[in-house]
Structure 1
Amino acid sequence: MLNATFDAPCLTTFCRLDELGLEAIGQRLDPDRAVLSCRVVQADDWCRACGCQGVPRDTVTRRLAHAPFGHRPTTLLVRLRRYRCTGCGRIWRQDTTRAAEPRAKISRTGLRWALDALVLDHLTVSRVAAGLGVAWHTANTAVLAEGRRRLLDDPARFDGVAVLGVDEHVWRHTRHGDRYVTVIIDLTPIRDGTGPARLLDMVEGRSKQAFQHWLASRSQAWRDRVEVVAMDGFSGFKTATTEELPEAVAVMDPFHVVRLAGNALDSCRRRIQQQIHGHRGRKGDPLYAARRTLHTGAAFLTPGQQQRLDALFADERHLAVEVTWGIYQRMVAAYREPDRAVARTLMTTLIETVSSGVPAALREVITLGRTLKQRADDVLAYFDRPGTSNGPTEAICESGSGWSGTGRSGWMSVVSNRV
């Protein structure tokens, strides 16, 4: 704009104090922080008990941590006028609930900044506390309570859920306490193409009971609206879904199905490695050198990788690995097939192939076939219901894989509705 006009600078507006019902009346820059002197805009001089008008008695100051500006933490010194009722003699001070919760040490604007810093900017609680200029426990307690109030206590956050994703996650890398949590995700936006997945809840433990108890705590009307539950191969999730959501369709998502085949391929490679060489894979061993190439899709093999596999499979001692690799590649090809009807046929044929008549020497394929036969309906259900992959559940789990302790680790269940 060539002829832009600007209003006179207003510290109240710039620091967003008007949202808190405050007005800036002074400022001071200390070496380690910025200090703003404020007053409450509304007089609030009427007695809440008898309705009589009060008279000014004295003034007190409330100290609040505010959203930082620049590299300095910002502190609000809020001057509060106290009144004495002319009728009943009651004494009260001006209301500051717009600015902060009673007895809180952080303003509402400061709490919003802390939530954004923690969730969007991935700052640690220590860094958030330093930005606010408060102790670690003060920041963690206040922001955790605000996150629960805004997200977990929101009665509408379970509305519209039709597709669930459930998975377990290693949460605590210590010997104390339960190491696992059950993660429940709303995949409805993914299926409908309306947005990202939403974290609904995290439940301590990895068991049928943990997931079943969570489902049972929801209303019957809510459970009746759930159409699909995407999960891994853990039978506990399957049983809990069958008992609590009898009308919902269980879907074993591609990530975990392919991982079953990949694990079978790795187990076969290690077994043959031990049979031939008598030790684990070492540098220079053909099977060990090809361990990553074996997991590459056949359509994406480079000429060098293809030559390495040809040389590997030319050795008859590696026949079991070659057969297992072929099963793995057929499974990958089925999921990559764009025509879902054709893909379903390919997967059905594969399950029938590995479910019976497999030579005893292919013990890993036999185990894989047994699992696929037991969960055949869940595996094939994926091809009838696009958009029910459990991938977003895995992504949300992995986004917090490095968190531990009561600080940031407690946050995944509170703030990941924005994921």
Structure 2
Amino acid sequence: MHLATTDERARLCPECGMRAHRMKEWVTTRPRDLPVAGRVCELRWRKRRWYCDETACARGTFTEQVPQIPARSRLTARLRRASGAAVADGGRTIVQSARDHALSWPVVAAAFTAHALRVLPTEPEPVTVLGIDEVRRGRPRWTWNATAQAWTTAADRWHVGFVDLSAGQGLLGQVEGRTARTVIDWLEARGTAWKEQVAYVAIDMCTIFKAAVRAALPHATLVVDHFHLVQLANATVTEVRRRVTVQVRGRRGRKGNREWELRNRLTRSAAWMHGEHLDPMVDDLLGLPARIGAPILAAWNAKEDLLDVLALARTHPDRHVIAERLFRFYDRCAASGLPELERLATTVQTWWPEICAFIRTGITNAGSEGTNRVIKTVGRDAYGFRNPENQRLRTRCATTRKSRGCLNPA
């Protein structure tokens, strides 16, 4: 494709802005552009070099340029934008975009950074329900501080993310380090008006996040995600099963031991189990030696009692119904005499105000967990990140594609 300059603005001096009248020579350049109808398009632009006759201008000569092809540029602006948008909006890695557009890795990385800074909002919009969760970014790195004569953290192994669980903005931001101070600093940087809009904060059972929210958002209601409670209850049943097996059999469970063969069924909810599976499981536990079957059955019943309490969420229950089911769970744990169940009951008692908030509101941290899954997928596709800032920019683009209209839910 042979190109000629028809834009009169190309004759304006880039230094002083005066229109040139004397031509010095012809110059032919070959800028690279996007394919046309799937075919590689080779551009040949024959442009002129002009003299700048303005005496006060330090620029003696200049070549013609247009917004799509700036001076000294070997690529068109739309090719750069397309390569950066493929990474930010198309879900490709930098290597894939560089291969598809026949560009180098540094060129596509710079194009992605420019595109991300252009499309991502500088400040998140106010949210009503905020989700806070951590995700592991990779191995930590340290540097030696000669002044303090100690090792300092250069790259933390954890990133803490803030997710909009109400308006669908996706990932609002990330900070490096899993400490209360980093969470408080990010919230304080949003301003007083932004913080006053936050009514609920969903977290897992992390005391760091709890302390940070109490300090920065004292008016917000803390909500504990029920998924982590169920996970903790299932882990308690598994811990009881393993302990009693080792104490009675003198070894770990294996094939032929009925309690080991039921290990997966014990972690399932009875509400989702068919009777042909539930009744035989209880009979098998009762048929085991009392030192094995009785503790496991007690732990399983306590776990089901806790699930019955959590099942009241989104049903607008009366407080007497909640109190009755909670007392049944506490009574089961106290009567069992198992240290694992006593520890589980203590944890539930410690976090009961936040658990009760979940039962009343039904708010979960599922949006934060889904965002973490996308973050981990981006990290695996990139085979890890060396620069935490680049990782945060890539993950925020990937987790906000839907809110920016770049992801088709169909």
Where 1:181 maps in the other structure, the secondary structure is strand
Residue in 2 that maps onto 1:84: 51
- The 8 Å contact of residues 133 and 368 in structure 2, kept in 1 or not, is answered as yes
Q: Distance in 2 between matches of 1:136 and 1:392?
A: 32
Give a deviation string over 1:94-125, Cα, whole Å, max 9, x none: 454x4378877664533554455435654332
Residue in 2 that maps onto 1:33: none
1:325 matched to 2:305: no
Residue in 2 that maps onto 1:184: 162
Could you say if the C-alpha distance between residues 383 and 372 of structure 1 is closer, same or farther in structure 2, counting changes exceeding 3 Å? Answer: same
Give a deviation string over 1:268-318, Cα, whole Å, max 9, x none: 222222223233332333222222212222122134532442233213322
1:133 matched to 2:133: no
| 1:238 CA drift (Å) | 0.7
Amino acid at match of 2:53: T
State which of 339, 364, 368 in structure 1 corresponds to 2:340.
Answer: 364
| 1:140 CA drift (Å) | 2.3
State which of 372, 379, 385 in structure 1 corresponds to 2:361.
Answer: 385
TM superposition score normalised by structure 1: 0.77
- The 8 Å contact of residues 313 and 359 in structure 2, kept in 1 or not, is answered as no
1:161 matched to 2:130: no
Give a deviation string over 1:202-229, Cα, whole Å, max 9, x none: 2112221221221122211111111111
1:412 matched to 2:390: no
- The 8 Å contact of residues 197 and 392 in structure 1, kept in 2 or not, is answered as no
| 1:241 CA drift (Å) | 0.5
Where 1:283 maps in the other structure, the secondary structure is coil
Residue in 1 that maps onto 2:152: none
Q: Distance in 1 between matches of 2:323 and 2:34?
A: 58
Where 2:92 maps in the other structure, the secondary structure is coil
- The 8 Å contact of residues 26 and 46 in structure 2, kept in 1 or not, is answered as yes
- The 8 Å contact of residues 99 and 107 in structure 1, kept in 2 or not, is answered as yes
Residue in 2 that maps onto 1:18: none
Q: Distance in 2 between matches of 1:307 and 1:343?
A: 31
Could you say if the C-alpha distance between residues 197 and 49 of structure 1 is closer, same or farther in structure 2, counting changes exceeding 3 Å? Answer: closer
Q: Which runs of 5+ in 1 are unaligned?
A: 1-24, 27-36, 190-195
Number of residues of Structure 1 aligned to a counterpart in Structure 2: 374
Q: Distance in 1 between matches of 2:45 and 2:161?
A: 42
Could you say if the C-alpha distance between residues 43 and 376 of structure 1 is closer, same or farther in structure 2, counting changes exceeding 3 Å? Answer: same
Residue in 1 that maps onto 2:147: none
Could you say if the C-alpha distance between residues 201 and 51 of structure 1 is closer, same or farther in structure 2, counting changes exceeding 3 Å? Answer: closer
| 1:354 CA drift (Å) | 4.8
Q: Distance in 2 between matches of 1:108 and 1:344?
A: 63
- The 8 Å contact of residues 147 and 415 in structure 1, kept in 2 or not, is answered as no
Could you say if the C-alpha distance between residues 52 and 129 of structure 1 is closer, same or farther in structure 2, counting changes exceeding 3 Å? Answer: closer
Could you say if the C-alpha distance between residues 390 and 53 of structure 1 is closer, same or farther in structure 2, counting changes exceeding 3 Å? Answer: same
| 1:185 CA drift (Å) | 0.5
Could you say if the C-alpha distance between residues 228 and 74 of structure 1 is closer, same or farther in structure 2, counting changes exceeding 3 Å? Answer: farther
Map 1:297-308 to 2 at 5 A.
297-308=269-280
Residue in 1 that maps onto 2:11: 45
Where 1:159 maps in the other structure, the secondary structure is coil
Residue in 2 that maps onto 1:5: none
Using the aligned pairs only, state the percent identity.
23
Amino acid at match of 1:149: R
Map 1:104-119 to 2 at 5 A.
107-115=76-84, 117-118=86-87
Could you say if the C-alpha distance between residues 147 and 42 of structure 1 is closer, same or farther in structure 2, counting changes exceeding 3 Å? Answer: farther
Residue in 1 that maps onto 2:374: 399
Could you say if the C-alpha distance between residues 126 and 208 of structure 1 is closer, same or farther in structure 2, counting changes exceeding 3 Å? Answer: same
| 1:405 CA drift (Å) | 2.0
TM superposition score normalised by structure 2: 0.78
Q: Distance in 1 between matches of 2:307 and 2:6?
A: 65
Calculate the aligned-residue CA RMSD, in Å.
3.3
Residue in 1 that maps onto 2:149: none
Map 1:230-309 to 2 at 5 A.
230-309=202-281
Where 2:251 maps in the other structure, the secondary structure is coil
| 1:264 CA drift (Å) | 1.8
Could you say if the C-alpha distance between residues 124 and 280 of structure 1 is closer, same or farther in structure 2, counting changes exceeding 3 Å? Answer: farther
Q: Which runs of 5+ in 2 are unaligned?
A: 143-154, 403-410
Could you say if the C-alpha distance between residues 62 and 302 of structure 1 is closer, same or farther in structure 2, counting changes exceeding 3 Å? Answer: farther
